Amino acid sequence: MNRELGERIIGYRREFHKYPELAWKEIRTSARIAEILEKLGFENIKIGSEALDTEAILEIIRLNEEEKEVEMNRAIDQGADEKWVKKTDGYPGVVAEYDTGIAGDTIAYRFDIDALPDLEPLEEGYRPYDEGFVSQNENIVHACGHDGHTAIGLGLAEMIMMNRDKLKGKIRLLFQPAEEDYSGAESMVAKGYLDDVDYFFSLHIGLSYENQPLLSNGVVTGCSDFLSDNQLDVYFEGRSAHPSGASQEGKNALLAACTAALNLHAIAPHEEGLLRLNVGEIHAGTGVNIIAGNALMKLEFRGENNNIADYAKRRVLEIIEGSAKTQGVEYKIDDYGQIPTAKSDKESMEIVGKAAEKVDWFKNIYEEGNVGGTDDATVMMNRVQEKGGKAVYFGIGADINQPLHNCKFDFDEEALLAGTELCFNILEIINPQ
Amino acid sequence: MNRELGERIIGYRREFHKYPELAWKEIRTSARIAEILEKLGFENIKIGSEALDTEAILEIIRLNEEEKEVEMNRAIDQGADEKWVKKTDGYPGVVAEYDTGIAGDTIAYRFDIDALPDLEPLEEGYRPYDEGFVSQNENIVHACGHDGHTAIGLGLAEMIMMNRDKLKGKIRLLFQPAEEDYSGAESMVAKGYLDDVDYFFSLHIGLSYENQPLLSNGVVTGCSDFLSDNQLDVYFEGRSAHPSGASQEGKNALLAACTAALNLHAIAPHEEGLLRLNVGEIHAGTGVNIIAGNALMKLEFRGENNNIADYAKRRVLEIIEGSAKTQGVEYKIDDYGQIPTAKSDKESMEIVGKAAEKVDWFKNIYEEGNVGGTDDATVMMNRVQEKGGKAVYFGIGADINQPLHNCKFDFDEEALLAGTELCFNILEIINPQ
Amino acid sequence: MNRELGERIIGYRREFHKYPELAWKEIRTSARIAEILEKLGFENIKIGSEALDTEAILEIIRLNEEEKEVEMNRAIDQGADEKWVKKTDGYPGVVAEYDTGIAGDTIAYRFDIDALPDLEPLEEGYRPYDEGFVSQNENIVHACGHDGHTAIGLGLAEMIMMNRDKLKGKIRLLFQPAEEDYSGAESMVAKGYLDDVDYFFSLHIGLSYENQPLLSNGVVTGCSDFLSDNQLDVYFEGRSAHPSGASQEGKNALLAACTAALNLHAIAPHEEGLLRLNVGEIHAGTGVNIIAGNALMKLEFRGENNNIADYAKRRVLEIIEGSAKTQGVEYKIDDYGQIPTAKSDKESMEIVGKAAEKVDWFKNIYEEGNVGGTDDATVMMNRVQEKGGKAVYFGIGADINQPLHNCKFDFDEEALLAGTELCFNILEIINPQ
Amino acid sequence: MNRELGERIIGYRREFHKYPELAWKEIRTSARIAEILEKLGFENIKIGSEALDTEAILEIIRLNEEEKEVEMNRAIDQGADEKWVKKTDGYPGVVAEYDTGIAGDTIAYRFDIDALPDLEPLEEGYRPYDEGFVSQNENIVHACGHDGHTAIGLGLAEMIMMNRDKLKGKIRLLFQPAEEDYSGAESMVAKGYLDDVDYFFSLHIGLSYENQPLLSNGVVTGCSDFLSDNQLDVYFEGRSAHPSGASQEGKNALLAACTAALNLHAIAPHEEGLLRLNVGEIHAGTGVNIIAGNALMKLEFRGENNNIADYAKRRVLEIIEGSAKTQGVEYKIDDYGQIPTAKSDKESMEIVGKAAEKVDWFKNIYEEGNVGGTDDATVMMNRVQEKGGKAVYFGIGADINQPLHNCKFDFDEEALLAGTELCFNILEIINPQ
């Protein structure tokens, strides 16, 4: 890779790091991506409401008009091109395609673009602070490497355009919002962007491999062990009462939540594989001398396959209903839906392996392995595979200073250059000249 | 009271003490009562199936034909008159009436006749053993004074016959089975024996008064603080499974019972008065390496008034249903029904007070007070009062060696003579010549 | 009472209503009280650190220097006299005494002065809003009538001064902070102001009598049914972990709190009387996908006597320790101490009754009864009685628009005038001329 | 195999099936084994107290002298040789050895001999009934195939003696009691019979292979997935009290058990592998109207490795202690110890595979796999491996009519003949001529 491109990629990463945006608010990021792609020569770029099916966004997380306006104004204030911001219609996400005009497979790449809610420290010795790209948006930080993913996507776009004469088939770049929240992948799938894809590639930097950090110069060609992930917010709604007065009039939502939590953690295991459940939060009651009339319980459960996830869901709902009944309280559930399991295809993993071999930086190429975690890329993988295409999720090693999701997470930026090259090499392997 | 009658009363008490019978098995006791009453001159004595409505007996405690036969044979073996045993039809209980033929109020007395399941000790220094009237029926003992109550009833019968020329109105004697179990009072009420009663008297020896034992020479003229009492057996029915195999197939009845027990004990108090609940027993599971497919939970709850009892019942049923749901198990409930609360009438209490004043033995006459406990005499009291009559439950003091329900309970037998006189005096006060 | 004084009393009430202050922040209120008393002729007025023992304030609720300064500056901004504000030393509370110089009993009155945390509505039809005395301090409101109590205290002070020639003995006025929080009464007791008191009077407006609101023209001469009240904040401190990763490393504080809550509500009743316990709040966990490493549980328990309170406390501590152990978590407890039970003296109740009879406004004078609730006036009552004095807590009726502690609570201000007169009449009854 | 031997093996199996004996009561079985081995020419046979270290038997399951005598008499009544019964000293188990006198490896085989507590049905169509070998000992049944294992052991003994000239090294046959209970394997290990073993073989018929039944003509050469297994009986000891009286005096053992059960089932999983826990039984309380003063809770837990088992044990003990504390009750634990995990050696599995290849009946030879379950053969395997020997546990396929542990379990007896041959073939493979 030429040095100038390498510097631009790192520059992109730092720019996005400086202006991190939470899920469904990535307006500046999206506008900047579109602006850069346009300059590179991409045409017919889809942004915001054209890049995704806005109906597919979970109602409980959808921004209202006022909130959208706030974000659009902020994006412009932070340097986004007003034209592109307007085009977003208040929704993030970008889809760009380069059609070589020559017969060949359709290849799609997915890059996630959102950041996390946490406070990035203003601390000497911490590179983003020392080198001036620390977050300008309070309580928002790119602690999951999506700034790097976005930069790889833009680097890849430039390489495509630089080599456009040598390529075949169609190449689609999906800059997806809201990986850390919900509906990001779903909304692009719902718009149909995965229906005609022959090969789908998604990636992450700084993951682990078989319970060890995957460091610089390493790559895992594919992950097949995604746990499904469901999340529910349960609102128990009882009736407050004075505990020393007419306590018989109370309907104790706090005790309903406690009964539920104990029973949820006691759900029997499933013989087919891993089932993990957690009641992560309970917030119940409004005063020490009031029988608690309400309680919020937040829980998630993950399963190694669909049978397990279905079993878990049935048991979870039984327990919530039973526990509510036990205290005579009502309940409602906000269901954030399921991030499904997925499997990487063997053929695609081999392509990633070959593409990595051509990049000097990669010294350690690991085959299929446990890269850990949950990623809604699985929604796209499943759609591609249902339609007959191949899909893979691979991991790019990077030395890291802190674990993922830590507010001081930083990584070896060389990984971005190697990752960009790897992505580009894939094109030649699938559609060779 | 003449000495011979006093000795007979004590003799009766000791005979019944020697041959105690559990609830619904008081065949020997009933036959002996009938035999004695007949000799005294009572006519048209009702026994067993004529003394009560057999349909009113809770199905879960009803004896089958074989069991009845066993009891009838045992009764004969233990000296009961075969004629009367046959007449019982396998049911205990006796009702005898003396109609003076002269206009006057109808006065009913209730004496309970059953014993308790416990092992009476063969121990020197314990009077029933030393004086040869210790229980001949293993694991059955008169530890609640009903042997004495029965003796008072027979002593009263003799005094009525001795003084028959001086009396007015009708006098009915109810020897009731199964006070310690269920349906005893109900079955006599259902037969109509309380419908036409003007004054109803029920009594107990050896109770307490305002949390202190009520000793010899004392009497409390009436009790108005009965707690209602409900008892349920709950059968949770789940599905067994291997805990290290397909544990997801299990439906854990043990955890349902545990969830229920904790929530039941956590029922909020009621502002109107005492509510006491107890899960007294849980028996769950059949093997340590089997997910428990079944559990039996036994519970009772008591309330100071009907609002409280109704509230408790609603909450109990909610908790059972909810807890079962929590583990996906079914349940069924054996409901033993309710022993209700009751209040003694002021007028009747005054009658008891006057009747006691005429007995030298009574030195301490206490007005209405807390005599403690639960007694199904309340079922009869409620019926009498509904029909316009007056009812009372009073306490006869007696020095005791052990608390009620202790297997070594014994008491000052002089109380029986004084109690008999008191009962007789009532007749003259209500229907004076 | 002359009209001008009546208007002044109502004016005081409205002024304090407009500038409500939370417990331990009543600097403006205290400074204004001192300023008014000084103008009336009281000498040697004790304020702030001279009115109470600052060491007796629970450490967890004590303001730091910075916070005190904020409150003192605000008080001045809101019209308090700078001289008196400075004298407070940052602590609220005022004690003033008038010594007649003539032999006679020492009589003390206690008036509580703090407000509650809630948002008073700016709503037409709500008198404080319509008439311009709605709270100027956001989220603080006089919803418990202490504005009225303070006004009565100042009205009484003026009547004392107006009639100073007719009085005997010593009269002490205690304007107590922090009744709604902790240590208010304790800190004045610790300073010794109750040690030499012969008669102690405390009062409340707008309470209930035997479960019915005590309306205008009514008075209850004394309350003897205070439940003791203990409050604890329990912090369970475990260890967070990833629920789908090394979950065995977690120590689940949320489940410890749930186990505790269920067992706390299941504490067995006490035969000696009422025991009421409530776990009012649980706040556990920081994220749905994190095993909860911490939990805060807020609970209170009340008992009808000390045996019950001691029993409850022992059981509460056992359950907290056991539940923590169950999950392998640590805990610490912030104990807010106990507001004790107390009994009004018969003699004092009779004095209140006579004093009320002399006030035309009082039509319904009820003897000793249940006025409900908990009030740390009991700390003062107990001290007075220990030292041989007499104490009483009485209730002044008032039509109210909302129950106490409702953010829109308002009341019939006529009750303040009647209350002031009643308080003054007491002086003549105890120390007649 | 010659037909006569085959018939004898099946005859043995049916004889043992007809006289099943529970753990530690296998006196008839042991005496018969010794008698048969002696007739075959084995010398110096060890039986009962000579076959095992009686001190190694867990005290809670050891028979007393009276019980031993009962079993010895019964054994004689059921046809056992009196000489051998006497030699048992009231303990089951047999060890026999044939020393070829020629240098070579020491090879040990283990056959378990005990039956299970259940009622075998007298039902037409059920072969043991139809063919006259249904259990003669009420409520005892060979439902786990140990009758077959014993028969294989005796068949192997006969083949050894028939071929004694061709063999090398030493061959030891261990007929082990009490596999279904505790201390069976331990007691033989403690006696030293495994210390000098070069190759150890243990087997089971009718198991599964990778979650499918292992049917006739199949064999699995080795199992390496044993879960460890711990079992505890927990006795919570509180204090009974009257629930409507002085309930504060109670210490509720039932609620302690319920709290423990819920928390035990809620123990967090371990990232290193399977952890399965079950509270299989709770028996609490003695009467519905008594606060339960005692509770027995039976639980087991299994883990995939020692870290997991240690973690589980630590958590179990924390929960028991914490739950007891929660109700102020004491507890004691009967710990049945641990059946450990174990791994089959590769070399031994290959030997089994080769030995199976030489038996026509085996068509499906599966390599190492999950055969399921827990077996205390692992205690012997671990000892052999610690001392430098090789050990294996293999599965012999058999068509079955019901799952293992079902009271109607029966199997294809041809498997016994093939199993015997396989065992014999091992000798030639290890110590070839």
Pairing of strands D390-396, D199-205: parallel
Question: Is residue A81 pLDDT above 90, yes or no?
Answer: yes
Ranking A230-239, B107-116, D333-342 by mean pLDDT, the lowest is D333-342
CB atoms within 10 A of CB C274: 17
Amino acid B371: pLDDT: 58
Backbone angles phi, psi at D110, to 5 degrees: -120, 130
Q: Cα–Cα distance between B24 and B22 in angstroms, integer?
A: 6
Tell me which residues of chain C have a C-beta less than 8 Å from any C-beta of chain B.
Answer: 262-263, 265-266, 268-269, 274, 276
Residue-wise pLDDT tens digits, B406-420: 888 999 999 999 999
Q: What is the mean predicted confidence (pLDDT) over A121-134?
A: 94
Residue of D nearest to C255 (CA): D263
**Chain C: touching chains (3 or more CB pairs < 8 Å):** A, B, D
Q: What is the pTM of this model?
A: 0.80
Amino acid D211: pLDDT: 63
Amino acid A181: pLDDT: 85
Q: Cα–Cα distance between D25 and A180 in angstroms, integer?
A: 63
Q: Cα–Cα distance between C93 and C176 in angstroms, integer?
A: 5
Question: Is residue C283 pLDDT above 70, yes or no?
Answer: yes
Question: Which residue blocks in B146-221 are alpha helix, DSSP H?
Answer: 146-162, 184-190
**Chain D: touching chains (3 or more CB pairs < 8 Å):** A, B, C
CB atoms within 10 A of CB C89: 14
A103 exposure class (CB count in 10 Å sphere: 0-12, 13-18, 19+): exposed
Residue-wise pLDDT tens digits, A17-59: 999 999 999 999 999 999 999 999 999 999 999 999 999 999 8
Relative orientation angle of helices A146-162 and A414-430, to the nearest 10 degrees: 50
Q: Which of D179, D279, D294, D376 to mutate to test the interface with B (most CBs of B within 10 A)?
A: D279
- The sheet with strand A218-220 has its strands ordered as A46-47, A94-99, A170-176, A106-112, A199-205, A390-396, A218-220, A364-366
Contact A48, A88 (CB under 8 A): yes
Q: What is the mean predicted confidence (pLDDT) over C363-390?
A: 88
Strand partners, C203: C394
Residue-wise pLDDT tens digits, B15-29: 999 999 999 999 999
Q: Which residue has the higher pLDDT, B67 or C225?
A: B67
Residue of A nearest to C258 (CA): A258
DSSP state of B373: S
Element (H, E) at B46: strand B46-47
DSSP state of A116: B
Residue-wise pLDDT tens digits, A94-115: 999 999 999 999 999 999 999 9
ipTM of this complex: 0.75
Amino acid A371: pLDDT: 58
Ranking A351-365, D231-245, D407-421 by mean pLDDT, the lowest is D231-245
Q: Cα–Cα distance between D273 and D260 in angstroms, integer?
A: 23
Question: Is residue D370 pLDDT above 70, yes or no?
Answer: no
Whether residues B250 and A268 touch (CB distance < 8 A) is answered with yes
Q: For tokens 């809670």, what's the residue?
A: D60
Six-digit token pair at D182? Answer: 């505790």
Q: What is the mean predicted confidence (pLDDT) over B187-199?
A: 98
Contact A374, A339 (CB under 8 A): yes
Amino acid B433: pLDDT: 72
Six-digit token pair at D403? Answer: 């799952």
How far off is chain C from B273, nearest CA to CA, in Å?
9
Q: Which residues in chain A are contacts of B250 at CB distance < 8 A?
A: 268
Average pLDDT, chain A: 94
Contact A113, A33 (CB under 8 A): yes
Q: What is the mean predicted confidence (pLDDT) over B258-277?
A: 95
SS3 category, D314: helix
Across the B/D interface, how many CB contacts are shorter than 8 Å? 133
Q: Where are the beta strands (DSSP E) in D177-227?
A: 199-205, 208-209, 212-213, 218-220
Question: Is residue A78 pLDDT above 90, yes or no?
Answer: yes
Helix-, strand-, coil-residue percentages of chain A, each rounded to 5: 40, 20, 40
Of D244, D254, D374, the CB nearest to B282: D254
Amino acid B18: pLDDT: 98
Whether residues B263 and C263 touch (CB distance < 8 A) is answered with no
- Chain-centroid distance, C-alpha D70: 23
Residue-wise pLDDT tens digits, B88-114: 999 999 999 999 999 999 999 999 999
Six-digit token pair at D154? Answer: 């005796």
Of D244, D255, D278, the CB nearest to B289: D278
Tell me which residues of chain B have a C-beta less than 8 Å from any C-beta of chain D.
Answer: 227, 231, 243-245, 247, 252, 254-255, 257-259, 261-262, 265, 274, 276-292, 295, 298-300, 302, 374
Q: For tokens 């309070």, what's the residue?
A: A138
Q: For tokens 């009269």, what's the residue?
A: C171
Question: Is residue A147 pLDDT above 70, yes or no?
Answer: yes
Element (H, E) at D30: helix D27-40
CB atoms within 10 A of CB A215: 16
Amino acid C362: pLDDT: 97
DSSP state of B279: E
**Chain B: touching chains (3 or more CB pairs < 8 Å):** A, C, D
CB atoms within 10 A of CB C354: 16
Of C231, C258, C372, the CB nearest to A258: C258
Whether residues A263 and D263 touch (CB distance < 8 A) is answered with no
Output the CA–CA distances (angstroms, integers) from residue C287 to A39, A303, C158, C292, D401, in the order listed.
41, 19, 59, 8, 51
Q: Which of C225, C262, C270, C277 to mutate to test the interface with B (most CBs of B within 10 A)?
A: C262
Amino acid D238: pLDDT: 93
Pairing of strands D140-141, D116-117: antiparallel
Residue B292 pLDDT grade (very low, low, confident, very high; cuts 50, 70, 90): very high
- Chain-centroid distance, C-alpha B36: 22
Residue of D nearest to A278 (CA): D268
DSSP state of C272: T
Amino acid C337: pLDDT: 84
Q: For tokens 């995604």, what's the residue?
A: A226
Average pLDDT, chain B: 94
Residue of B nearest to D274 (CA): B244
Burial D144-183 (b: 16+ CB within 10 A, else e): bbbbbbbbbbbbbbbbbeeeeeebbbbbbbbbbbbbbbbb
Across the A/C interface, how many CB contacts are shorter than 8 Å? 133
- Chain-centroid distance, C-alpha B354: 26
Average pLDDT, chain C: 94
Residue-wise pLDDT tens digits, C203-254: 999 887 766 788 999 999 998 778 889 999 999 999 988 887 788 989 999 9
Q: Cα–Cα distance between B222 and A33 in angstroms, integer?
A: 91
As a whole number of Å, the end-to-end CA separation of chain D is: 20
Residue-wise pLDDT tens digits, C21-61: 999 999 999 999 999 999 999 999 999 999 999 999 998 89
Whether residues C268 and D248 touch (CB distance < 8 A) is answered with yes
DSSP state of A191: T
DSSP state of D245: S
Helix-, strand-, coil-residue percentages of chain D, each rounded to 5: 40, 25, 40
Whether residues D302 and B227 touch (CB distance < 8 A) is answered with no
Residue-wise pLDDT tens digits, A163-219: 999 999 999 999 999 998 889 999 999 999 999 999 999 999 988 776 678 899 999
Q: Residues 6 or more apart from B77 whose CB is under 8 A from it?
A: none
Residue C119 pLDDT grade (very low, low, confident, very high; cuts 50, 70, 90): confident
Residue of A nearest to D258 (CA): A262
Contact C211, C56 (CB under 8 A): no
Of A265, A274, A276, the CB nearest to D266: A265
Ranking B334-343, C85-94, D328-337 by mean pLDDT, the lowest is B334-343
Residue D374 pLDDT grade (very low, low, confident, very high; cuts 50, 70, 90): confident
Amino acid C243: pLDDT: 83
Residue B210 pLDDT grade (very low, low, confident, very high; cuts 50, 70, 90): low
DSSP state of B270: B
Residue of A nearest to D278 (CA): A268
Q: For tokens 């790897």, what's the residue?
A: A422
Least Cα distance to B229 among B183, B277, B187, B270 occurs for B277
Whether residues A325 and B318 touch (CB distance < 8 A) is answered with yes
Entry field: residues in chain B: 433
Q: Cα–Cα distance between A371 and A352 in angstroms, integer?
A: 15
Least Cα distance to D382 among D153, D194, D227, D111 occurs for D194
Relative orientation angle of helices C27-40 and C3-18, to the nearest 10 degrees: 160
DSSP state of B382: H
Q: Which of B255, B265, B279, B308 to mutate to test the interface with C (most CBs of C within 10 A)?
A: B265
Question: Is residue A372 pLDDT above 60, yes or no?
Answer: no
Q: Which residues in chain A are contacts of D268 at CB distance < 8 A?
A: 265
Q: Cα–Cα distance between B93 and A366 in angstroms, integer?
A: 88
Question: Is residue A383 pLDDT above 80, yes or no?
Answer: yes
Q: Cα–Cα distance between C261 and D259 in angstroms, integer?
A: 11
Residue of C nearest to B259 (CA): C262
Of C258, C285, C299, the CB nearest to A280: C285
Across the C/D interface, how many CB contacts are shorter than 8 Å? 82
Question: Is residue C382 pLDDT above 60, yes or no?
Answer: yes
Of A258, A261, A276, the CB nearest to C244: A276
Q: For tokens 């999951």, what's the residue?
A: A144
Question: Is residue B172 pLDDT above 70, yes or no?
Answer: yes
Tell me which residues of chain D have a C-beta less than 8 Å from any C-beta of chain B.
Answer: 227, 231, 243-244, 247, 252, 254-255, 257-259, 261-262, 265, 274, 276-292, 295, 298-300, 302, 372, 374
How far off is chain D from B154, nearest CA to CA, in Å?
32
Q: Which residues in chain B are contacts of D283 at CB distance < 8 A?
A: 282-284
Q: Cα–Cα distance between A176 and A185 in angstroms, integer?
A: 7
Question: Is residue B182 pLDDT above 60, yes or no?
Answer: yes
Residue-wise pLDDT tens digits, D202-220: 999 988 776 678 899 999 9
Q: Residues 6 or more apart from A101 whose CB is under 8 A from it?
A: none
DSSP state of B300: E
Contact B49, B87 (CB under 8 A): no
Average pLDDT, chain D: 93
Amino acid B118: pLDDT: 82
Contact A410, A127 (CB under 8 A): yes
Q: Cα–Cα distance between C252 and C293 in angstroms, integer?
A: 6
Ranking C365-369, D37-41, D341-345, D419-423 by mean pLDDT, the lowest is C365-369
Amino acid D104: pLDDT: 94
Q: Which residues in chain A are contacts of B323 at CB distance < 8 A?
A: 322, 326
Whether residues D271 and C262 touch (CB distance < 8 A) is answered with no
Query: DSSP secondary structure string, D333-344?
Result: EEEEEEEPP---
Of A263, A271, A276, the CB nearest to D269: A276
Q: What percent of chain B has pLDDT over 70?
A: 99
Six-digit token pair at C379? Answer: 């700390």
Q: Which residue has the higher pLDDT, B266 or D116?
A: B266
Q: Residues 6 or more apart from C52 whose CB is under 8 A from it?
A: C91, C93, C177, C187, C188, C190, C191
B192 exposure class (CB count in 10 Å sphere: 0-12, 13-18, 19+): exposed
Residue-wise pLDDT tens digits, D283-327: 999 888 889 999 999 999 999 888 999 999 999 999 999 999 999
Q: Which of C244, C307, C326 to mutate to test the interface with D (most CBs of D within 10 A)?
A: C326
Residue of D nearest to A266 (CA): D266
